[in-house]
Amino acid sequence: MGSYPLIFELSKEGRTGFELPELDVPAKDINNLIPEEMQRKTEPDLPEVAEVDVVRHYIGLSRRNFGVDNGFYPLGSCTMKYNPKVNEDTSRLAGFAELHPYVPEELAQGALELLYDAEQYLKEITGMDRFTFQPAAGAHGEFTGLMIIKAYLEKKGEKRTKVIVPDSAHGTNPATAAMCGFDVISIKSNDRGLVDPEELAKVLDNDVAALMLTNPNTLGLFEEEIVKIAKMVHDVGGLLYYDGANLNAIMGVTRPGDMGFDVMHINLHKTFSTPHGGGGPGSGPVGVKAHLAEFLPVPVVEKDGDRYYFNYNLPNSIGKVRTFYGNFLVVVKAYTYLKALGGEGLTDVSQKAVLNANYLREKLKKYFYLPYDRLCKHEFVLSGKWQKEKGVRTLDIAKRLLDYGVHPPTIYFPLIVDEALMIEPTETESKETLDRFIEVMLTINREVEENPELLHEAPHVTPVKRLDEVGAARNPILRWSKDWQK
């Protein structure tokens, strides 16, 4: 475990890798800039290393890393599709990358046009009427969306207290509702893995502010009764929130706006191919129907003739949820992807994502228990319960996959499936890659019979072996200190 040192442990007193240039502006007294009580009294513990040490250290770490650029990454719910490198080119264009957020509008017309156009495309894809790009990622988008719902209800003079989430929901949904001050009402899925209209009817009343739903849902199954569900919620005066986590399954086929949703977020970093999971900041634009547009964060981008401008004049806005305009360069990457693929291309993306998931589901279901056995959308959930009966847990299977150079699927989620394995191959994987994954899963399934110990101790070939997750959670060491190793 300790085989790879922290950069702090490479530190040698007095060693440096840089030299600051001569001061070419008048020196100022720090006491005039920072109040004395806010100045630190001791030197910070920074690593003292040469440039070559820094480079070797981080290159070494990057070689131990696993990302979608190294191999197959079927992490369910996360849409770890390959991110085209052209996105990196466009987002590094100096006109975008070096643009100052306070530059006058007339000198940033290109950037404003891009935001404006990106909004038009997202509106077309989702059936929503307006978007904000401020939220920094999905959960931030959920928060923004529910705050908009809250503002809308308050303006109508209604004090509604409840938000309904299905028991298969992403954990961020109930967390968001709680953060926004709502009571969370969880409803059980039916035996088909879907929202049960009868269960929903039981909890619907005039206190319901919203239902939060993702469609296809967390099991990768399409909520077929969505139109009916939307009507039920609207009939009691509640709104519908669409969690865009699974948007990759439906582009060009159906739209949340047409299903009856009032507010939604999109994870640009999932559906629209920008790096995530340690690879870059996210972006969680929030889209609303027209009746909610007045509550969006300011500014929104608008167009007057040929001129683009920021509109700050939304008196009922919930306010800003992030500095400036959100993670703008992530929007540039997503815009590049949108432009490169176009409408037909995006439809093809969703269809291939669904095809790939169904191919894997069909090939694996004989060997791994499939609790909801029917056509799925972009992902599906297997259960390791047959393997568990033989003494091998899903965690062991996941660890063993690492030995074969595959990133494991999401495990133990959703909670309604015992020993869950949530698999999302995405559209960017070839049949050869999918076939290799099937072969690896079948090999591991044979190992369950023949050599379960091998799985209990996996992984064997990775730089770091089986982690003591329980020990890490019970006795976490969260900060390095000089005395740590003593």
Partner 1 sequence: MSVVPKDLKYSREHEWIKVDGNIGVIGITDFAQKSLGDIVFIELPGVGDEISAGDSFGVVESVKAASDLYAPVSGKVVEVNEEVIESPQLVNEDPYGKGWMIKVEISNEAELDELLSPEDYEKLLEEEGE
We find the least distance from the C-beta atom of residue 441 to partner 1, in angstroms, to be 21
Q: Which stretch binds partner 1 (CB under 8 A): 39-47, 313-321, 329-337, 466-474?
A: 466-474
Nearer to partner 1, 232 or 455 (CB): 455
Contact 410, 394 (CB under 8 A): no
Among 1, 20, 25, 470, binds partner 1 (CB under 8 A): 470
Among 45, 154, 205, 418, binds partner 1 (CB under 8 A): 418
Q: Which of 142, 135, 140, 147 is nearest to 325 (CA)?
A: 135
Among 96, 310, 359, 412, binds partner 1 (CB under 8 A): 412
Tokens of 470: 């329980």
Q: Which of 266, 242, 277, 253 is nearest to 331 (CA)?
A: 266
Distance, CA of 70 to CA of 228 (rounded, Å): 44
Q: Is 478 in the site for partner 1 (CB under 8 A)?
A: no
We find the least distance from the C-beta atom of residue 472 to partner 1, in angstroms, to be 9
Residue listed under structure tokens 């996959």: 401
Nearer to partner 1, 470 or 477 (CB): 470
Q: Is 477 in the site for partner 1 (CB under 8 A)?
A: no
Q: Is 469 in the site for partner 1 (CB under 8 A)?
A: yes
* One-letter amino acid of 72: F
Nearer to partner 1, 85 or 474 (CB): 474
Number of residues forming the site for partner 1 (CB under 8 A): 7
Beta strand 263-266 pairing with 380-383: unpaired
Q: Which stretch binds partner 1 (CB under 8 A): 54-62, 246-254, 426-434, 469-477?
A: 469-477
We find the least distance from the C-beta atom of residue 382 to partner 1, in angstroms, to be 16
Taken in order 26, 31, 32, 34, is the CA torsion positive or negative?
A: positive
Nearer to partner 1, 153 or 184 (CB): 184
Among 41, 100, 474, 486, binds partner 1 (CB under 8 A): 474
We find the least distance from the C-beta atom of residue 415 to partner 1, in angstroms, to be 6
Distance, CA of 89 to CA of 329 (rounded, Å): 11
We find the least distance from the C-beta atom of residue 474 to partner 1, in angstroms, to be 5
We find the least distance from the C-beta atom of residue 108 to partner 1, in angstroms, to be 44
Q: Which of 167, 252, 269 is nearest to 212 (CA)?
A: 167
Residue listed under structure tokens 């957020």: 101
For residue 86, CA distances in Å to 92, 137, 349, 390 come to 10, 22, 17, 47
Among 97, 201, 227, 415, binds partner 1 (CB under 8 A): 415
Nearer to partner 1, 59 or 473 (CB): 473
Q: Which of 189, 223, 178 is nearest to 414 (CA)?
A: 189
Q: Which of 398, 409, 382 is nearest to 467 (CA)?
A: 398
Among 30, 46, 52, 473, binds partner 1 (CB under 8 A): 473
For residue 213, CA distances in Å to 167, 271, 312, 355 come to 10, 17, 31, 23
Q: Contact positions toward partner 1, by CB under 8 A?
A: 412, 415, 418, 469-470, 473-474
